[in-house]
Chains A and B, each alone.
Chain A
Amino acid sequence: MSDHQYTPESKFGKWFNDRLPLLTLANHLTDYPTPKNLNYWWTFGGILTFCLITQIVTGLVLAMHYIAHADMAFDSVEHIMRDVNYGWLIRYIHANGASMFFLAVYIHIFRSLFYGSYKAPREIIWIIGIIIYLLMMAAAFMGYVLPWGQMSFWGATVITNLFSAIPLVGEGIVTWLWGGYSVDNPTLTRFFTLHYLIPFLILGLVVLHIWALHVPGNNNPVGIDIKKPSKDTVPFHPYIVIKDGFALLMFMIVFAFFVFYTPNILGHADNYIEADPLVTPAHIVPEWYLLPFYAILRSVPDKLLGVVAMLSAIFILAALPWLDTSKIRSAVFRPLYRQFYWILVADVLILGYVGAMPAEGLYLLIARVATAYYFLHFLVILPVLGYKEKTLPIPLSITEPVLGGSPNLATAKNKESFKIK
């Protein structure tokens, strides 16, 4: 943690800091040496912090008006939308905030994949990140159940039924999850409790995530280790703060557009119909951010194996630092990996698309091919690529390419400027 010894100037400050070194922490955070060539893909860490806080604050406020009871949940949501002062605003921020959160987290994850941020010595940061992502999915799923609309009810039914795939104990586990013989009031109240709890778990993990980040320091677009502090770094405040702030504002404009002008576009119309245990909606689709995994689940014809495939698709990410055998971090210097990277991006987008479509005919075939490729990428392509790929020469420091122009990715892609002298 300590890059240099910090002593507060005021007497009280010193007295306080000797007992609780909050000021040392604050000083560490503001002075934290950050690579100065970070591009805008790196601003999503700050944006995600904003998303988490927004969800927690609006969520707390909604919980003051929401009633977690099967007979009243839907009514209480309508009460929030109609009567509570600014209730509609707060609910729409919370509902769309979930989508914005996932949008940001996907960009954050794919940034890490491109620049190899998960590689040594940052494996723990990455694994904590994957746990946060898992918890986010759990929180989002349970949150979607709370309005007790048709999609809430049937989404809860379908997802909890995944556990029935477990041999022998599956049925018992599902009954235990439900607290009855179907999704009903006991299920709703426990989901509400957990939905309230998980964000605080995430918050704790975010602290660990950042702590683990501050040990080796940030990766950067060039992907090489840098000395800190040095002429390659800038203090976090004000340089990175203002840049993150600028990016956050751009993000908020998009966010505001959703909240104020198309607040329901990311949701599903069926969720404005109150839950009815007797009628299943024509198409059950999860929220868009879960679609790729939903596609993987449905592409496997066997119930148990489908669930296994879906979970593996997530857990495989945790093993990524060891599956990727290349010593070079940034895809900027890995011409082959760069191509496979974009194929993976396309693959995941395709999975998301077919996840929203009915699981039949051509869609099912595409889903199967895309699922197979997803695993092929992580289990075969990445390990082999590390040995076979001919990488480009990497610079000794991030200031070096400055001699040839700018340290930005755009120029970094231009191979000429990276020849080692």
Chain B
Amino acid sequence: MSEKKTNRRDFLFTATYAVGAVGVGATIWPMIDQMNPDASVKALASTEVDISAVNPGKTITVLWRGKPVFIRRRTQDEIVEARSVKLEELKHPESDEDRAKNPEWLVMLGVCTHLGCVPLDQKGDYNGWFCPCHGSHYDTSGRIRKGPAPTNMEIPKYEFVNTNTIKIG
């Protein structure tokens, strides 16, 4: 009898603690989630860019989610150079065909994958981009060739809405 009583008490206390803990957890979550991107930030997640005025060999930089996106209309030489590289030579093997579906247009996040600086256009040993912060060299497809950056510059999700407009995001 007395043993049974102890068990019931233990159960009561355990249940109280458990239910209390659930409540504490449920209360903490809103305080954490409020720091995540809010509804207005999420709504701006896609942006449309008019590319009709970009000539071959020129790059425009647009802001998307607070970061620069490079949109480069590549010359024939650059495309050939990018597509002729053997994958074995690359630190982060990706074919140019995968990175630029439409070979004339390279759309990528202009953020060095090392520590987040913005690389300079038409600089470096591979005729692509060069990051001045710590000396990473990218080729005409935005792939890392030399320097501390671990991966190629990222390709965001984008699509051609029509021949003159790209929608990023």
Contact = CB atoms under 8 A, between A and B. Distances in A.
A and B touch in the complex (CB under 8 A): yes
Interface of A: 57-58, 61, 64-65, 79, 82-87, 89-90
Contacts of B33: 85-86
A61 B31 contact: yes
A85 B34 contact: yes
A85 B30 CA distance: 7
B38 A85 contact: yes
A341 B34 CA distance: 46
Interface SS, A side: helix
B35 A64 contact: yes
Contacts of A83: 38-41
B27 to A, nearest CB: 9
Contact of A64 (B30, B34, B39, B40): B34
List the 10 closest A-B pairs by CB distance, nearest first.
A86-B30, A83-B39, A83-B38, A83-B40, A85-B33, A84-B38, A85-B34, A86-B34, A84-B34, A61-B34
A65 B31 contact: no
A90 B35 contact: no
Contacts of A87: 34, 38
B36 interface: yes
A79 B34 CA distance: 12
Interface in B40-57: 40-41
Contacts of A89: 30
Contacts of A57: 31
Contacts, number: 33
Contacts of A90: 30-31, 34
B62 to A, nearest CB: 24
A92 to B, nearest CB: 11
24 contacts: A58-B31, A61-B31, A64-B35, A65-B34, A79-B38, A79-B40, A82-B39, A82-B40, A83-B38, A83-B39, A83-B40, A83-B41, A84-B34, A84-B38, A85-B30, A85-B33, A85-B39, A86-B33, A86-B34, A87-B34, A87-B38, A89-B30, A90-B30, A90-B34
A124 B34 CA distance: 41
A330 B41 CA distance: 59
B12 to A, nearest CB: 12
B147 to A, nearest CB: 37
Contacts of B36: 85
Given A85-B38, A89-B30, 20 more contacts: A57-B31, A64-B34, A64-B35, A82-B39, A82-B40, A83-B38, A83-B39, A83-B40, A84-B34, A84-B38, A85-B30, A85-B33, A85-B36, A85-B39, A86-B30, A86-B33, A86-B34, A87-B34, A87-B38, A90-B31
A404 B93 CA distance: 89
Nearest to B28: A57
A271 to B, nearest CB: 22
A89 B31 CA distance: 10
A82 B42 CA distance: 13
A79 B38 CA distance: 9
Nearest to A57: B31
A384 to B, nearest CB: 50
Contacts of A84: 34, 38-39
Contacts of A65: 34
Contacts of B39: 82-85
Contacts of B35: 64
A61 B40 CA distance: 18
A216 B30 CA distance: 41
A82 B35 CA distance: 14
A87 B31 CA distance: 9
A90 B34 CA distance: 9
A88 to B, nearest CB: 10
